[in-house]
Amino acid sequence: MSREPRVCATRCVRADHTKAVVTYQAGSAELSTRPLGDAIHAELVSRILSGQYAPGEHLVERDLAAGFGTSRVPIREALHRLQRDGLVDISMRRGARVHRQTIEEIEDLFNLREVIEGLGAKLAATHRTDEQVEELRHLHEAYMRDFRRGEHVPGLEKTQRWHDLLMHASGSPALLLAVEGVLPRVNWTLRQHNHEAALVRDREHIMAALYARDWRAAERAARRHTIKDRAIVLAALRGRSSLVTLAQVSSRRER
């Protein structure tokens, strides 16, 4: 059964007479208004990528509709969008379930990450500001404090922020568009499989290259970091029940 949602939703009719939903986070004064289907889709994406819904978890239309205070129609539409996004699998017998990544998908994802982060670090070495380098250093130090205390979830969040800041330091809007399509899924992979590899030395090498504005060293260190990360993740995940191959997926769909 799907978990209770973390947001409340109220339907309304906007001035242009289109249906919309007003969502608000519990304990937060922040409000956002967007078309109903878009709001539900965005919220479900957030829950999946944050790990609130686990791989293989059944997303029940009835429960989601009750939680969002809406009919099943926009829920069904959002689930089909998530299927196109590759985040949900839908079948007649099993219903909608959070997608389980295959080994091949993870390998492809990390191959893309290697190219994107290598280029991002290369550009950051020549475009970064002193303030951005200092923020990267502070985030890394905060991560190390969490890691030494065994607080891996806060440490993972700081690592994700570190990589996000590194990409923003590139000064490339086009690169950031590519990042938006790849890094959230990388973070999803790391989060759902409890990846805890520190790879501290590589991040320090990247920062040293940024300080020196050495774009060759920055790109080399970033690619090396991703290659090691990929090897550690795949070595840890192979053989786990939460990871499947494309052949297994095809077999399941045929049944």
- Which of these, 251, 233, 25, 211, lies nearest to 111 by C-alpha position? 233
Q: Which CATH number, 1.20.120.530, 3.40.50.720, 3.40.30.10, 1.10.10.10, labels domain 103-237?
A: 1.20.120.530
Across 135-144, 188-197, 204-213, least confident range? 188-197
pTM for the model: 0.70
Would you state the pLDDT for residue 240? 58
| Banded pLDDT at 75 (limits 50, 70, 90) | very high
Would you state the pLDDT for residue 245? 40
Residues of the chain with CATH 1.10.10.10: 7-98
CA distance linking residue 201 with residue 232, whole number of Å: 15
CA distance linking residue 49 with residue 169, whole number of Å: 24
CA distance linking residue 182 with residue 176, whole number of Å: 10
Structure confidence by residue, pLDDT tens digits, 155-179: 677 888 999 999 999 999 999 999 9
Q: Are strands 95-98 and 7-13 parallel, antiparallel or unpaired?
A: unpaired
User: Any idea of the CA torsion for 244, 250, 254, 255, to the nearest 10 degrees?
Assistant: -10
Structure confidence by residue, pLDDT tens digits, 28-43: 333 345 688 889 999 9
Residues of the chain with CATH 1.20.120.530: 103-237
Percent of the chain beyond pLDDT 70? 75
pLDDT reading at 243 higher than 80: no
Q: Taking CA 64 as the corner, what is the angle to CA 102 and CA 255, rounded to the nearest 5 degrees?
A: 40
CATH number of this structure's domain 7-98: 1.10.10.10
CA distance linking residue 36 with residue 180, whole number of Å: 23
